Amino acid sequence: MSNPHPLNQTGIFTITTGADGAPTVKAVLTVPAGTSIVNGTGELNQAINPPPHAPTAFTGVVHATGLGSTQQIFSLQGHAIPPRLGATYISQLVIALDGIWASKGTGSFMVYNDTPHPTVVSKALVSVEWLAQ
């Protein structure tokens, strides 16, 4: 059986609600050829003072749905870079693209920092710039 995607897929993802001052995630994610494994890094940005510095390493999986219109779902866990107590980082990131390797979709993410409760951002818009491999 031939591999429908014989090359690695790497994209630059932007995830934001678009609201003024809302947190935004910029991530570079790669899916090696012939796998459903996702790896990458990202950064949380926000127009606040001081701005968060939240570099995050991501690992997870991507799958296509088979019901209705096809979507591609990325489910990722995040870890602070470098790992340290009280670090701000994106602990979970979920992206639903509008099709296989589509350039648009929706997403949500959870941000941990030194407060007792994480910040959850849902109903965010996702745009992807796929890089030639």
Q: What is the per-residue pLDDT across 20-53, written as a single tens digit (0 to 9) for each?
A: 888 899 999 999 999 999 999 999 988 787 778 7
127: Cβ contacts below 8 Å, ≥ 6 apart:
13, 14, 103, 104
Looking at residue 64, what is its pLDDT?
A: 92
Domain that holds residue 84: 9-131
Q: Of residues 114 and 57, which shows the higher confidence score?
A: 57
Indicate whether 64 belongs to any domain.
yes
Q: Cβ(15)–Cβ(95) under 8 Å? A: yes
**pTM, two decimal places:** 0.90
CA 27, CA 56: separation in Å to the nearest integer?
A: 9
Q: What is the mean pLDDT of residues 65-75?
A: 87
Give the chain's domain count: 1
The two structure tokens encoding residue 104? 């648009």
Give the Cα-Cα-Cα angle 37, 93, 132 (nearest 5 degrees): 50
Indicate whether 4 belongs to any domain.
no
